[in-house]
Structure 1
Amino acid sequence: MRILHTSDWHLGQNFMGKSRQAEHQALIGWLLTQVQNHAVDAVLIAGDIFDTGTPPSYAREMYADLVVRLHAAGVGLLLLGGNHDSVATLRESSALLSVLSTHVYPAATAPKSHVRVLPSRVAGQPGCIVCAIPFIRPRDVVTSEFGQSAQDRQQQLLVAIKQYYQSVYAAACAKRDELAQQTGQRLPIIATGHLTTVGASSSESVREIYVGTLDAFPTSEFPPVDYLALGHIHKPQKVGGHEHIRYCGSPITLSFDELGQNKQMLLVDLNESGLQSVTELPVPIFQPMMSLRGDLGYMTDALPRIAAQAEAGQTVWLEITVTTDDYLADLPARIQKLVEGQPLEVLRIRRERGQTMAQLQDNSGVTLDELDPHDVFERRLGLEEGMDASLRGAITQRYRQVVDAVQLGESEEQGEGTAQ
């Protein structure tokens, strides 16, 4: 049985005002080629399929395109909800997609319902059993109690997640024993997850989850599966040195601090004896990006060289951090003049010393207790030099909508608690 493990696609991402549509479309085409070339039986996406709970229409179209093309190729698809995904959005088409060899798990429900037998592509016989576990939201597994301390809530959530994994694993073992009696074949068991584990290394584009309750789930608390396919962390890595516990990472660069990572997907081979091998498939760079740091003299020399190395028809996205010349009031205009007529686009300009001074000034005499969420956001947004006014306004409006939704949800939960 051969599975292609991937995660954190973030379809529909708006990256500093730029769409990733072309990259994701190219990624789907590349994926289909790999599936054929490597005789993949099933594709597994371990969460964060979409970037937001309300993805744009083109992102939904690409999602449907992936499903249809994999089904036509005879390849199964297993989709797990992530913390960026909307449960309702994934659930709305799950029944229809099951007819197209695609199984969607938006949220944690009854443990037995999360056991899925994946067939091999050619013979159509059972190939492995999956504990198909998506991002586990605290409200799905724990009930808050009045007067609990933060430490108590953290321990309660840890125990609840552990018990949930064990319950699904027990159901998978029962299914394996049942099939073994029928066929004489002992199927391997794999599990999925969308969370941070102890020892995992993340990047700035990874949104923290279980904030204030659980920082990372201990690796030792996972059940003894043959392979654990994880999502949420964008940097590909083995966890704790274990060959069978893997983050595949995001297939495209989702923030400038992810530059230098070797983006990949993982080919996972299993048989009755368990895990046989994990092969890294490097993902091509569909959109070149670079982060530069130095003074204006350095930029004057470096930018033409970068432009000369750009492939025909491609524009390099840049993040520029200016050091000794960061005091210049017309810095953004000077940078833009340097890239005029070049296959270069500056997405972000940072003033190194200016940002440091602004942060120091903000820290003098002002505490977080004196600021509301909107004040904190405005101060942080003010550090972004050269941001287009319309983009700044759109980001601010979106942030206010998110804060209002969170505050409304907290008010409703408090009301329910009072009623109980």
Structure 2
Amino acid sequence: MKILHTADWHFGKRLYQTDLLEDSRLFVDWLLKKIQELEVDILLVAGDVFDTTNPSSDAMQVYYDFLKGLVATGCQLVITGGNHDSPAVLNAPREILKLLNVQVLGGACENCLDEILPLPDRSGKIGAAVCAVPFLRDRDLKRSVEGESFEDRRLAIRFGLERRYAQQYEEGRRLYPDVPLFGMGHLFMNGSATSDDDEKLHTIGTLDLFEASLFPPFDYLALGHIHRPQKIAKKDTIRYSGSPIALSFSEIKDEKLVIFIETEGKEITRIEELRVPVFRKLERITGTFEEVEAKLMAYTRPEGALKSLAEVEIREEHRDPALADRAKVFFLTFQQGDIQVLNWKFRFSQQLRTADELFGESTALTELTPKDVFDQWLSENAATDESKVLLGEAFHELLNGLN
């Protein structure tokens, strides 16, 4: 069998109020061509199809256009929900999608064994199986106990995760003993390397203690949630595929991938990283105002790519009101067909830290998310790590409830 592992598509993502839907469209067009070229049997998407729990109609259109194109290839699809996804939104067309060989698990099943799925090849013969575990919230793993300590709660959730995967692994091996058994998960693994954007993702506070050794020995574990592609515990068979497009400026240097896996009989015979083309360049441009101005005016985007997006930092020795006014006029009137400046700020070497620098000089309120503001408040006001985690989780639940 031929299987592709990907995750963290984040359809509907906006970067400083600029949407990345065209980037997403180009990615799924490339993915469909790659599926046809390689004659892929199964596509595994490990969470965060959408960037918000209430995706726009345009984001939904990209999703449904992809599904329509995938059905034409004969490839089957397994999708698990991520922390950004609404289980209800993903599950709404589930019964219809089953008829098209698309399996969707938007949220945790009441019986976790219902998340074990056979994976037939194009001839209908079962060539693998998967324990398709979506993003698990606290309530999926345990119930609150009055008087329970913070550490007890952390350990109980970790044990709940370990037990859930162990139960599925044991049943999966019993049901499908003669084929490779895959696992899927959308969670934070201890030791994973994150990008700035990953730091804004909600994770259960206990998951910093969840390590590769706590998973049962799946033949391959397809992970989502972290945007930087990587192996865990230096194992080829435990991987984050990462996001297929750059979702923040901290991902500029990341090579975006999907993972190609080939099986034969009971064995995985091939694991290969397939590089996703760069559809749009993200640039960080620094220097004095004159240097920045010259770089922007001379910039040429790569041939065939979408207009580049930039963060700009102007570095000067002293604060100069006249220069600040000149910069504001420049960026308000800046027109260059190859690059768009999304955010710019000054940084002065001879300057004490001011309140402006909490979020960056010249950062507008519209460029900050509610979580950005809350996280800054939390870092300065929460007394303990425990209170930071508890308040952070409570804020996330409230925010999701408003979406």
TM-score between the two structures when normalised by the length of structure 2:
0.86
CA deviation after TM superposition for structure 1 residue 210, in Å: 3.6
Three-state SS of the structure 2 residue aligned to 1:196 is: coil
Residues 312/195 of structure 1: CA separation in 2 closer, same or farther (3 Å cut): closer
The one-character-per-residue Cα deviations of 1:21-61 (angstroms, maximum 9, x if unpaired) are 11111111111100011111011110000000000001111
State which of 340, 345, 366 in structure 1 corresponds to 2:340.
Answer: 345
Please say which of residues 338-347 and 49-58 is displaced more in the overlay. 338-347
CA deviation after TM superposition for structure 1 residue 20, in Å: 1.2
Alignment of 1:385 onto 2:362:
yes
Alignment of 1:333 onto 2:328:
yes
The one-character-per-residue Cα deviations of 1:81-112 (angstroms, maximum 9, x if unpaired) are 00111111112111121111110111222121
Alignment of 1:315 onto 2:316:
no
- The one-letter code matched in structure 1 to 2:134 is P
Counterpart CA distance in 1 for 2:174 and 2:40 is: 26
Partner in structure 2 of residue 113 of structure 1: 114
The within-5 A match list for 1:401-420 is: none
The one-character-per-residue Cα deviations of 1:196-229 (angstroms, maximum 9, x if unpaired) are 1121101111134345433241110011010000
Counterpart CA distance in 2 for 1:232 and 1:138 is: 16
- Could you tell me whether the CA contact under 8 Å between 1:12 and 1:52 is conserved in 2? yes
The one-character-per-residue Cα deviations of 1:315-340 (angstroms, maximum 9, x if unpaired) are 22111112216734326425527943
- The one-letter code matched in structure 2 to 1:352 is R
Counterpart CA distance in 2 for 1:81 and 1:199 is: 23
Any stretches of 5+ residues in structure 2 without a counterpart?
A: 375-390, 399-403
Partner in structure 2 of residue 301 of structure 1: 294
- The one-letter code matched in structure 2 to 1:215 is D
Three-state SS of the structure 1 residue aligned to 2:27 is: helix
Alignment of 1:154 onto 2:193:
no
- Could you tell me whether the CA contact under 8 Å between 1:269 and 1:276 is conserved in 2? yes
Counterpart CA distance in 2 for 1:221 and 1:398 is: 32
- Could you tell me whether the CA contact under 8 Å between 2:223 and 2:240 is conserved in 1? yes
- The one-letter code matched in structure 1 to 2:207 is L
Identity %: 31
Alignment of 1:164 onto 2:164:
yes
Residues 301/226 of structure 1: CA separation in 2 closer, same or farther (3 Å cut): same
CA deviation after TM superposition for structure 1 residue 113, in Å: 0.3
Alignment of 1:277 onto 2:243:
no
- The one-letter code matched in structure 2 to 1:239 is I
Residues 220/356 of structure 1: CA separation in 2 closer, same or farther (3 Å cut): farther
- Could you tell me whether the CA contact under 8 Å between 2:47 and 2:81 is conserved in 1? yes
- The one-letter code matched in structure 2 to 1:261 is D
Counterpart CA distance in 2 for 1:34 and 1:115 is: 27
Three-state SS of the structure 2 residue aligned to 1:352 is: strand
The within-5 A match list for 1:9-408 is: 9-109=9-109, 110-121=111-122, 123-177=123-177, 186-206=178-198, 207-307=200-300, 309-311=301-303, 314-324=306-316, 327-328=319-320, 329-330=324-325, 332-333=327-328, 335-336=330-331, 339-353=334-348, 357=352, 360-362=353-355, 383=360, 385=362, 387=364, 391=366
Counterpart CA distance in 1 for 2:86 and 2:357 is: 29
- Could you tell me whether the CA contact under 8 Å between 1:8 and 1:232 is conserved in 2? yes
- The size of the alignment, in residue pairs, is 377
Residues 152/255 of structure 1: CA separation in 2 closer, same or farther (3 Å cut): same
Residues 331/98 of structure 1: CA separation in 2 closer, same or farther (3 Å cut): farther
Residues 5/409 of structure 1: CA separation in 2 closer, same or farther (3 Å cut): closer
Counterpart CA distance in 2 for 1:159 and 1:173 is: 21
Residues 148/353 of structure 1: CA separation in 2 closer, same or farther (3 Å cut): farther
- Could you tell me whether the CA contact under 8 Å between 2:317 and 2:350 is conserved in 1? no
- Could you tell me whether the CA contact under 8 Å between 1:300 and 1:338 is conserved in 2? no
- Could you tell me whether the CA contact under 8 Å between 2:280 and 2:308 is conserved in 1? yes
- Could you tell me whether the CA contact under 8 Å between 2:187 and 2:207 is conserved in 1? no
Partner in structure 2 of residue 2 of structure 1: 2
- The one-letter code matched in structure 2 to 1:270 is T
The one-character-per-residue Cα deviations of 1:131-186 (angstroms, maximum 9, x if unpaired) are 11111111011111112222111111110000000011111112114xxxxxxxx1
Counterpart CA distance in 1 for 2:30 and 2:372 is: 33
Three-state SS of the structure 2 residue aligned to 1:261 is: coil
The one-character-per-residue Cα deviations of 1:384-408 (angstroms, maximum 9, x if unpaired) are 6253x7x45x9569989xx9x9569
Counterpart CA distance in 2 for 1:30 and 1:315 is: 18
Three-state SS of the structure 1 residue aligned to 2:316 is: coil
- Could you tell me whether the CA contact under 8 Å between 1:268 and 1:277 is conserved in 2? yes
Counterpart CA distance in 1 for 2:183 and 2:290 is: 52
- Could you tell me whether the CA contact under 8 Å between 2:9 and 2:48 is conserved in 1? yes
RMSD over aligned CA atoms reads 2.9
Any stretches of 5+ residues in structure 1 without a counterpart?
A: 178-185, 363-377, 411-420
- Could you tell me whether the CA contact under 8 Å between 1:326 and 1:351 is conserved in 2? no
- Could you tell me whether the CA contact under 8 Å between 2:190 and 2:207 is conserved in 1? no
Counterpart CA distance in 1 for 2:151 and 2:357 is: 31
